[in-house]
Amino acid sequence: MVKIILLLVLWAVTGIAAAYSGAGGSKMWRRLFVPGITTIIGILGLWSLWAITMMARAGALSLGYGIPDPPTQPNPDEGSPIGRFWFKIFKNYKKAAIATRGTIGFIESISIIVIPILTGAWALWILAMLLICFNNIFFAVLKNSGASYKLFGKTLSWQETFIHGNDSVIIALLVLLCR
């Protein structure tokens, strides 16, 4: 029961931190704090300083998943480099968003490859990788759902909360199962 409560707290803390970052708060909440928490879990759970390499997840979370706005919009957003890349290939917003989110999920999964390297639990890592990619892609399909909540004086996205909270819990569960 304690582990379930800790996982729920992890979900809430990392999800809210990432959503706060996306709502105009410091990007460091998503880029450093969120992967930092799962890295600490990795170090303590695997009892290895090699788990510090899990902090590479910060790179994946720094890439951004914005798709370029149509040039007809006032002040169009140019999107992230990955979003621009996939949009040039697909020339379709939904397909580019799915590919962009899938790419970030895949890079996040690669950043935690130290877990199966240390434990030999390759099948669990592949399952976690699929779940992380699915989690990111699923929310790309639901883009513009618009569901939000107010916290800390900001309007936070439930979508951001779920993506990053879910990914953090998947990583923590992988560490727990591989101990």
pLDDT tens digit sequence for 114-138: 999 999 999 999 999 999 999 999 9
- State the helix-helix crossing angle for 34-46 and 2-22, rounded to 10 degrees: 150
3-state helix, strand, coil in the chain (%, to 5): 75, 5, 25
CB burial class (10 A; 0-12, 13-18, 19+) of residue 90?
middle
Q: Which of 66, 88, 63, 87 is nearest to 76 (CA)?
A: 66
- Cα–Cα distances (Å) from 117 to 51, 59, 110, 137, 166, in that order, read 10, 20, 11, 26, 23
3-state secondary structure of 151: strand
Chain-centre distance of CA 148, in angstroms?
18
Beta bridge partners of 148: 157
pLDDT digits (tens, 9 = 90+) for 25-39: 788 888 899 999 999
Q: Which residue has 């510090």 as its token pair?
A: 52
Chain-centre distance of CA 57, in angstroms?
8
pLDDT of residue 65: 83
Confidence of residue 56 (pLDDT cuts 50, 70, 90): very high
Domain residue spans of the chain: 2-178
Higher pLDDT pick, 98 / 68: 98
Query: Among residues of the chain, what percentage have pLDDT more than 90?
Result: 67
